[in-house]
């Protein structure tokens, strides 16, 4: 290569950056030796910023536009000013392109449940997740605090730290909000704005901002959600008795139609026996002389007597219900004891702990009564002689 080709290469220099990965936040412009030539053109596109670092120190930040790097007061030195070094400038500069557009659809979520005190359910554990967006608002601070000398910095390298900040602020905000769990779905937008406002000062120290934060879902533990689903089902069912009968009929039908099912065979056998018994009763009634309107006698079949003349057969009466056994309470010296069964009251009467004058009470009785005045208890004292009659008055 001739000297003119070399000089031509030294005079022509275009510095720019294009990216289609959509996750690169910072890219360092790579040039051999990091030497920037005099008169170079710097192109900064919309959604970008260019940061100049000269001799290890941050020199300037360029916003979108076209710049000619030819002024003497710029913190760059050109190779053409140093012929004695053979076009090798001892002053090195670096250019970092920073993406200032929004990085959208970033995920966040609670790794562990958040303990909250719900006004309706009491202590509950909540999980939440959503999306957020990040934007670089201060390229110089972002480069100084986060990127450093990294030649290529992507969103994945800072997203984990931002997620931790979001979860921390969200946990604090939701625990102090006092919003019931059942009403949180109607307040997710307000919760997102509240958390984004609390996160703003923290991420601003990194040169970032959170333009948007969305809470997509707030969920309870699976066991609690299943209990709530059952409660909802009970409200929809209404009449539990009719629902139970309906489900039992469905189970019988499903078992009867299931092939090679022992339960289905048993149900089918039971239904068949019930049908056979019903058919047998029908045939017996149809073949009996009384069913045909005739009665048999020594002279053959004759018409049956009229219904009014036929003796009516009384239906068997059901036995009466067993008597209800009462339990008794005893009042002595202003204190009550019990309840005691009647057998226990009998033993107490034999031992002298229960007398005719002892006040007793049983559910359904109107106030306290003397044991001797209660018919059911009076018989307990028949084995004991009644108190002696008072002596007759003395003759005057």
Q: Closest Cα partner for 175 from 114, 127, 86?
A: 114
**Residue 12 domain boundaries:** 3-99
CATH number of the domain within which 191 lies: 3.30.479.30
Which residues, at least 6 apart from 149, have a Cβ–Cβ distance to it below 8 Å? none
- Same domain, residue pair 13 and 126: no
Q: Is residue 127 part of a domain?
A: yes
> Which tokens sit at 195?
């958390």
Q: Is residue 285 part of a domain?
A: no
- Same domain, residue pair 134 and 85: no
- Same domain, residue pair 8 and 35: yes
- State how far the Cα of 327 lies from the Cα of 115, in Å rounded to an integer: 50
Q: Closest Cα partner for 150 from 257, 294, 51?
A: 51
- State how far the Cα of 272 lies from the Cα of 68, in Å rounded to an integer: 101
- Same domain, residue pair 74 and 36: yes
- Same domain, residue pair 218 and 139: yes
SS3 track for 172-218: HHHHHHCCCHHHHHHHHHHHHHHHHHHHHHHHHCCCEECCCEEEEEE
Q: Is residue 141 part of a domain?
A: yes
Q: Is residue 370 part of a domain?
A: yes
Q: Please say which residue of 99, 128, 153 terminates a domain.
A: 99
- State how far the Cα of 376 lies from the Cα of 387, in Å rounded to an integer: 19
In the chain, the number of structural domains is 3
Q: Is residue 262 part of a domain?
A: no
Q: Is residue 107 part of a domain?
A: yes
CATH number of the domain within which 348 lies: 3.30.1490
- Same domain, residue pair 76 and 139: no
Q: Closest Cα partner for 45 from 96, 95, 94, 97?
A: 97
CA distance readout (Å), 32 to 52, 89, 220, 368? 16, 12, 57, 110
- Same domain, residue pair 135 and 212: yes
Q: Please say which residue of 99, 125, 143 terminates a domain.
A: 99
CA distance readout (Å), 350 to 342, 344, 369, 371, 372? 13, 10, 20, 14, 14
From first to last of the 396 residues of the chain, give the pLDDT tens digit.
Answer: 444 444 444 444 788 888 888 889 999 887 665 567 766 788 999 999 999 887 778 888 999 999 887 644 454 444 334 434 333 343 467 889 999 999 999 999 988 888 888 887 888 888 899 999 999 999 999 999 988 888 888 999 888 999 999 999 888 888 887 788 888 888 888 888 888 888 899 999 999 999 999 998 888 888 877 877 777 777 776 666 777 777 777 777 777 676 665 555 555 555 556 556 666 666 666 555 544 445 444 444 455 554 445 455 556 777 776 666 778 888 888 888 888 888 888 888 888 888 888 888 888 787 888 888 887 777 777 655 556 777 888 764
Give backbone dihedrals phi and psi of 247, rounded to 5 degrees, phi first.
-70, -35
| Omega cis (within 30) before 339 | yes
Q: Are 199 and 212 in contact (CB under 8 A)?
A: no
- Same domain, residue pair 128 and 170: yes
CA distance readout (Å), 274 to 255, 261, 263, 267, 269? 18, 20, 16, 10, 9
Q: Please say which residue of 99, 117, 145 terminates a domain.
A: 99
- Same domain, residue pair 91 and 136: no
- Same domain, residue pair 137 and 117: yes
- Same domain, residue pair 119 and 209: yes
- Same domain, residue pair 107 and 220: yes
């Amino acid at each position: 290569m001739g000297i003119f080709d070399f000089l031509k290469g030294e005079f022509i220099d275009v510095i720019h950056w294009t990216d289609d990965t959509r996750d690169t936040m910072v890219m360092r412009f790579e040039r051999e030796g990091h030497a920037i030539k005099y008169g170079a053109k710097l192109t900064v596109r919309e959604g970008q910023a260019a940061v100049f670092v000269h001799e290890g120190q941050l020199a300037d930040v360029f916003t979108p536009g076209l710049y000619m790097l030819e002024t003497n007061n710029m913190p760059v030195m050109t190779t053409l000013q140093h012929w004695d070094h053979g076009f090798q400038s001892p002053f090195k500069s670096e250019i970092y392109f920073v993406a200032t557009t929004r990085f959208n659809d970033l995920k966040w979520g609670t790794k562990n449940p958040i303990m909250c005190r719900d006004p309706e359910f009491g202590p509950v554990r909540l999980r939440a997740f959503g999306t957020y967006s990040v934007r670089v608002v201060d390229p110089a601070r972002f480069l100084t605090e986060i990127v450093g000398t990294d030649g290529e910095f992507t969103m994945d390298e800072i997203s984990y730290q931002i997620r931790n900040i979001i979860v921390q602020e969200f946990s604090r905000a939701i625990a102090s909000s006092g919003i019931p769990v059942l009403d949180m779905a109607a307040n997710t937008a307000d919760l997102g704005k509240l958390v984004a406002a609390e996160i703003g000062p923290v991420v601003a120290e990194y040169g970032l901002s959170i333009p948007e934060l969305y809470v997509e879902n707030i969920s309870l533990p699976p066991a609690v959600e299943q209990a709530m689903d059952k409660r909802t089902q009970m409200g929809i069912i209404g009449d539990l008795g009719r629902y139970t009968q309906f489900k039992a009929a469905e189970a019988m039908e499903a078992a009867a139609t299931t092939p090679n099912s022992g339960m289905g065979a048993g149900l089918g056998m039971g239904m068949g026996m019930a049908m056979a018994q019903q058919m047998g009763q029908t045939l017996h009634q149809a073949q009996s002389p009384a069913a045909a309107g005739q009665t048999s006698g020594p002279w053959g079949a004759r018409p049956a007597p009229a219904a009014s003349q036929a003796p009516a057969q009384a239906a068997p009466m059901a036995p009466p219900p067993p008597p209800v056994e009462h339990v008794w309470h005893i009042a002595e010296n202003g204190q009550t004891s019990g309840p005691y069964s009647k057998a226990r009251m009998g033993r107490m009467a034999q031992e002298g702990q229960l007398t005719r004058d002892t006040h007793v009470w049983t559910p359904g009785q109107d106030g306290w009564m003397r044991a001797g005045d209660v018919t059911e208890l009076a018989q307990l004292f028949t084995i004991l002689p009644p108190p002696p009659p008072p002596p007759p008055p003395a003759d005057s």
